[in-house]
Each structure stands twice: as structure tokens, then as C-alpha cells.
A and B are shown apart, each in its own frame.
Chain A
Amino acid sequence: MRHQIKSDDLRAPEMAEAIEKCVHCGFCLAACPTYKLLGEEMDSPRGRIYLMKGVLEDRIEADEAQPFIDRCLGCMACVPACPSGVAYGDLLVSYRTLQEQSRQRPLMDGVARRLIIETLPYPRRFRLAMKSGKIGRMLQPFLPEAFASMLNMLPDKLPPPSPLPPILPAQGERRGKVALLSGCVQQALAPQINLAAARVLSANGVEVHIPAGQSCCGSILLHIGAESEARQIARRNFPLMPDDIDAIITTAAGCGSGMKDYELLFKGQTDLHKASDFSSKVKDFSAYLAGLGLREPRGFAAERAVAYQDACHLLHAQGLQSEPRSLLNQVPNLRLVDIPDAGICCGSAGTYNLDQPAIAEELGGQKAGAILAAGPDTVVSGNIGCITQIRKHLDLQGKNLPVMHIAELLWAAYQS
């Protein structure tokens, strides 16, 4: 599409390019969960692009368009659906950052924003904050989706801190060496995920380094438009990673896709090359393991029917579809069942749940229904946000299935 966007902002060229590439064909509509639900152009990727274009061209006010932009789940399902190659994710992040810089956000007052920036990226501070006065809950309305959903994991109390060892040696023949990213708040909320991931890797002959002093990857801050803070915090991890590693492993989908976008975040910065070097090494747990080739686990004594729910930030943002499934398929006595429309977002909770409760509820309910239709006895995903949302909606439908991270299930398969 042609546009009349002024290019005085550093981000405008990216936005202009994405908008130019869009031909308004509508192929993205079929992939978009909010369009499927609401059936209005404004709530489709094509419509949002059109609205962003309208704002950037000064045809409409940003405030007017904002509710529709906010309603975007950021699931990125439209990206692989787009034949023209519109970088919708880049457009959305750039647009949100631009708007964040210029708009007054009534919801996000200075104090709350400061609290998030100062607390959430640091597991230890976060633990303290949670303990003292449930600050987390107060913050919840201001948090982006994936992050706040983690808070939902813990209604009352945090699990005991379980520090990860600095190094887990490779078992058997050494096949690789990686660093595990553990700076995320997920570590405070569900420490068993990273631990399981490290153990599975180790059992597969991978030497796992878990450098101390890691901080959040910054993706979370970027989501609330705190671009410079995001950069600041991301930088802290750069020197911590050993040089001779094959990959930096993450077990959180949103972090993975966020770190893969460091080039955009660090554009024009002096340490761009460091960021892109880091970024190029980032791999999701399942992608790395599938690439390495799984050492066959013992498997389960009795057959388990496992449904794998794609996390949007793995499937759409990172293109990981066959990798996790191939891992699961190699587990003896594990039968993989297909969830109809597995590529549709589960409406993962968090602020989305709070800002757009109706949509999030609807998507969550539909997802739980689809999962149950597949008839699994265990549900697996690669992202804590999805796990939380699915667990909640299965509970609501009175079905108490175990819902876990793929690393947890694989570790169970090695142990049994």
C-alpha cells in the first residue's frame, strides 16, 4: 500500500516498509484470533496496519486507534500467514514504542511503571516484593500478557527458592555446551521448569552453564514501551555468557522471540554487534534439543496421550512447529494427539485477561474445548503463560488434567 508517512522518526522507515509491503489481501484475517472472534476489520491484522498507517499519516488520532491496537494479542499468527512478508511484529513493537513515548497513559502512572521497571526483571527483588504486600498483584493490571500471567500461577505463595547449579555436566559423551537463561521471573514462579530443562539437556550430553547474576532479557520492558530500560537490562546479560557456547537456551517463548529481535532494539546503538551476536545464539529449548537429536528416554510405563499446544511465540514468531512434536514423538509410550486449530492463540492471561476479559475468556474457553476434543491425559506447552491459561480454563470446565512445560514432561520421561 502507498502511504504518506513522514520519516523523521528513527522507527518510521521500518513501519513504512511494513505498510508498503501490505497489499491488503486479507489472508491474515483467517489467522487472527481477534478477527475470528469479533469479525470486524479494526480487529484484524490488516485493519490494525491500516489504523497504524492512518495514525502515522495523521488521518486519525492515536488515542482513537489505541483500543484496537491494544486488542491485538501479539500472537504473530498473521506473520506466517502473510504472503507479502509484512513484518507485523516489527511494526507493532515500533508503533507501540512510538506511541508510548508520546502518549500519556492514564493506566500506567509513574509509580507503577517505576515499580515494574525496578522489580520485575530481578527475580530476587521480585520475590521480596511478592512477599511484602503482594505488590505483584497490585501491578498486575499494568503488566503485559505473558508476564502477568506468571503471577496468576501463584495465587498465594511463591515456591521456595531453588537455586540452579552454576554448571550441570554433560552425561555420557559430550555433544554440546550451552548457557541457560534463567534471569526471568519465571524462575521465581516456576523454578522446576528451568531445572527440568537443564536436566534434560544434561542427560542428552549437553554441558549446561547457568551463569549467576543474570537479569531479565528485557523483552518484558519492551512490551510496556520502556525501550531504553529494556536495553539497559538486556546489556547486563551480554558479558555473563561464556564465549564458547553453542547456544543460549530459553524456556520461555516470549523471551526467545524478544531476544531474537535485539537487532531492532539495539538499532543505532554502539553495542549493536554484541546484541546481534547474543541474539543469534538464542534458541528455544525444544529447537535446540530437536536439532541435537534426542537420546531416547525410558518413556512411560503406561501410555500417555499428550496434547501439545503451540505457544504463539514459538509457532508464529519462531516458526517452531515440528521440533517440539518430534521430541515428544520419540518418547516411548507417548501418543501425541492433535489439538484442532492448535495454531490459534489461547488468549493467554495477564493484562490481556484484564484489559480484554471477554476476548481472553472466549479464547481460553475455546482452547480448553479444543484440547478436550483431542482427548489427552496430559497437556504440554513451551511457555508458562499458555500453561497458566490452559490450566485455568480446563479447571473452569471441570477437567483437572496435568498441564506442564515440555521440559518437565521430557524430564519425567527420563526418570520413569
Chain B
Amino acid sequence: MNRSFFEALRSIYPDDRLLTRDVELLPYESDALTAFQTKPGAVALPIDEEEIIDTVRLCHRMKVPFVARGSGTSLSGGSLPIADGLMIGLNRLNRIKKIDPEQRIAVVEPGVINLHITEAVRQYGLYYAPDPSSQSICTIGGNIAFNSGGAHCLKYGMTSNHVLGMKVVLADGVVTQFGSESIEGVGIGPDLVGLFVGSEGLFGIALEITLRLMPTPQLYRTVMAAYDNLGRAGDAVSMVVASGLLPGAMEIMDRLAIKAAEASVGAGYPLDAEALLIVELEGEALQVEAEFAELRGVIEESGAFEIREAKDEDERARIWQGRKSAFSAVGRLSPDYIVQDGVVPRSRLGEALVKIGELKAQYQLDVANVFHAGDGNLHPLILYNGREPGALEKAEALAGEILAMCVDLGGSITGEHGVGMEKREYLPTMFSPVEMEIMRDLRRAIDPEEIANRGKMFPSGEAPALQMRGMHPLERQGVISRE
């Protein structure tokens, strides 16, 4: 970033919205994956879409890489800054521009916080369905970049399934619009919404997003079942699926995760359980009551040693608060951890858990397991103490083996956190060389300078790599660092 770039930036931003001092840049050097830290060259804080467009065009013209950031809650390092690049903080574009309850849509800016949408539309009996654990703070822009999921994805899908239309600025400054207010979205012609959502910020920046809203379920019925081993909880999930029920959420936590979450929010989880299964039904009251009677029968047959139903909304909220706090709560057990996000076919969950157990013993590291069992989406949290020499490397090696296992079992290296910085070396384990080449070509066709979120998703080559063997040259020079 040279002087003329800064000068041009200053013509877009007043001083108080262009951060350049060390003390202002430092807090931006990590997102929710602190294993990586890179101080950005500057942070710009636009307040409207014109400023974003001008900024992207400027970056394109002067070939300066940029990273768009909402609240910095990525667990894959997706919003890690680029050294000597620009960070564009979008959290001030937080207006909900339109709510149309009769069409069940909302039009929002990218910096709107996920939960704020639900809060704004609750009065109309509607809600915004995707519920990542960080929903109280993560932004829609970030959700779009990483196609965020949550505990309630099985029935209504992830972010991508809830975006109907968008206006975007591509990385080369071209502004375009696709989709509509119809529930069909694009409907006719290739589904560009589907392509843009989940592109990890590599195509450009979403400026305005039309979201679909869902009717608030008349009734939730939530049950917790405690098991004396993980396999049994996994079998219970298969039994629920086989029964033909379609729960809104099925979650499993293991002993360590239960302990951390319970210490954090006091959700009333049974501390003597090896595995806790949470199943939730939602929908029209009559239907849900009938389904719940059936679910109760299934769970009673599943070998749980304790079954507890949420008696009221408070109790249900506590159960979910515990679950949603689980990742961060592990901070109570260990100074450092790596969250993984692999997916396996649901029927192979048991196999995957056994394998993780073996790896855990082999590496002598603690692993807490939290997963969206309905989707086969595992979140092993690998605990380590970064102060011990070699501990991070050991934890990363274990994480790598878990990812390789997921791919071997026919799954994915990421269900909802995205590849980001963290898993980019693993992308080729899922995709063939042709597929990798096509994705790279696609990136270049849209962003010829490769300035948008440079260094993410694709394995090294574009930018400093997270590699599993030794330090990156830029790390050795002290340009980037990771803890």
C-alpha cells in the first residue's frame, strides 16, 4: 500500500473512518481463529454502498488486496487480514432496508447482525432461520461469504437457502444484481445467488441482500437424552431418522463439551453423561405434539439413561444457550483449541467417532465433540496448550487426520465454517486437480488481480500458507505470525 493509495482512500473516507495507527489495527489482526494473526495495512469503515464500490474499484485499480469483514467471528480464519492489504469493515452498513411480512422477505445491508433480523420481524410472526452459534453478533455479509449454517439446518438449509436476491460489487468493481423478491430467487437462468453464497469473499462484496423469512413455529418441543456412550447417542439419531420424523435439530455433545457448556451457562445438562442428544421438533402445534409422542417412543427405546423434556420456553432457551456457547466455553478448559467442521455421511457417524477416539489416544490430546448429528456435521474441538513447544503442530496434525477421515468416509472438510485460512491446504483432498483448476479459473475470471480475500480457500501460492510442515517464509521474516 503506497502513498497514492492512501491519498485516494482519504478522498473516500474521513479520518475517523480510516484506521491507520498501530493501536487501531492491532485488534483487527485476528478473527475467531486466533491461531493466525496478520495486521492489516489499514481498516476502512464505509457507511454506504457507494463507499464500498469506490473502495473496491480503487483496490482493483491499484492492485491492493482487500478483506471484507463483518464482526470477525469466522472460525476458519476467513476474515484474517492481509498484511499490507486493506480491511473493509462492513459492520456499519447495518440497516434493515425493508421488511415485507406479507411476502415474507427482508432486504438488508451486509453488516446487519443475523439475530437482529429475527428480532425485527418477530412481531410479524416471522424469523430468519439460519442460526449459527454466533448469531447474536455475526453479520449477514459474513454468513453469505461462508454459507453459514447452525443447529437448525437439516430442515430449512443453510444461508444459501435463505437468500433470494442480491446486489454485489465484484472484485473488479463491476456492480451487478441477481435474484428477486420471489421465493424462486433467480428462478430463470443460472442460480447466481447459489454461486455467490459461500464463495468466501473471493468474488466480491454483497451490498444488499434479499432474505426469505420463515413463519415462527407455533410450537417447539425439545428433548435431551443422556447416554453412557457416544455410539448409543449416534444410534438414537439413526432411529429418529428411520422413524420418518424430520426434526428441526439433532445435536450431540460429548462429556467434555457438556462439562464446558454447563460451566458456562448452567443449562442443566447431565454431567455424568458420556453423550447428550438434543432433538427438537418444530411447527404447527397439533402436528408437533403428534410427532413428539412418536419421538418420545423412539428415544425411550434408544437406551438413554436419562430423558428430559424442556418444560417451557425458558428451559428450551437454556438448552440452546448451552449448546451455542459450547465452542467458546471450551476456553474454560484449555487456553487453546482448534475447532474442526468436518462432515461425514450420517450413517457413518459412529465409525467417525470411534476413529476420533483412537486418534485422540494416539496423539494424547483431549478432544471435545459437539456435532450437528442430523447433518453428520462434526465439530471436534482439539484442546492444546500453545505454550508447550510443538503442541500446536501436534494439534494441527490431529486435525488434519480428522479431515482426511471425513473425506475418506465420503464427506466434506467443512460443513459450515468454510475453508478460509485454516483448511485451505486440505481443499485438494476433496477436489480433483481439474476441479481445483476450474475453481481457480473461476476466481480469476471474476477477480483477475486476485485481490478479494487473497490467500483464502485455495492452497498456498497466492499468499502466505498455513502449511503443516514448518514455518512459512513470511512467518520466518515476521511478516505474518500464528500462535
Contact = CB atoms under 8 A, between A and B. Distances in A.
Do A and B touch each other in the complex, judged by CB within 8 A? Answer: yes
Interface of A: 1-2, 20-27, 29-30, 39-42, 44, 46-47, 50-51, 54, 59-61, 64-65, 68, 82-86
Nearest to A340: B119
B265 A83 contact: yes
B134 A47 contact: no
A42 B94 CA distance: 19
B134 A26 contact: yes
A13 B138 CA distance: 32
A20 B335 contact: yes
Contact of B34 (A24, A27, A30, A54): A24
Contacts of B72: 26, 41
A301 B73 CA distance: 52
Given A30-B136, A42-B27, A82-B328, A60 B483 contact: no
A341 to B, nearest CB: 10
Contacts of B23: 42, 51, 54, 60-61, 64-65, 68
B264 interface: yes
A39 B136 CA distance: 15
Contact of B137 (A26, A50, A61, A64): A26
B26 A54 contact: yes
A39 B45 CA distance: 9
B96 to A, nearest CB: 15
B34 A59 contact: no
A19 to B, nearest CB: 9
Contacts of A68: 23
Contacts of A84: 264, 328-332
A51 B23 CA distance: 7
Contacts of B329: 83-85
11 contacts: A1-B483, A22-B331, A23-B328, A24-B31, A26-B71, A29-B137, A51-B23, A54-B26, A60-B22, A60-B23, A85-B263
Contacts of B265: 83
B28 interface: yes
- Nearest 7 pairs of A and B residues by beta carbon: A84-B331, A83-B328, A83-B325, A47-B27, A41-B27, A2-B386, A64-B23
A85 B264 contact: yes
A1 to B, nearest CB: 5
A51 B27 contact: yes
Most B C-beta atoms less than 10 A away, residue of A2, A23, A65:
A23
Contacts of B45: 39-40
Interface residues of B, number: 43
Nearest to A24: B34
Nearest to B321: A83
Given A21-B332, A27-B328, A86-B331, 8 more contacts: A1-B34, A23-B328, A23-B330, A25-B327, A25-B331, A27-B137, A39-B94, A84-B329
Given A2-B335, A39-B45, A83 B264 contact: yes
A25 B73 contact: yes
Given A42-B24, A64-B22, A23 B34 contact: yes
B336 interface: yes
Contact of B387 (A2, A47, A60, A85): A2
B412 interface: no
A213 B45 CA distance: 55
Contacts of B30: 24, 50
Contacts of B469: none
A61 B115 CA distance: 37
A20 B384 CA distance: 12
Contacts of A65: 23
Interface string B322-343: 0001111111100111000000
A381 B369 CA distance: 43
Contacts of A42: 23-24, 27
B32 interface: yes
Given A29-B137, A39-B45, A39-B92, A23 B331 contact: yes
Contacts of A61: 23
A131 B391 CA distance: 65
A3 to B, nearest CB: 9
A23 B26 CA distance: 16
Contacts of A60: 22-23, 26
B453 interface: no
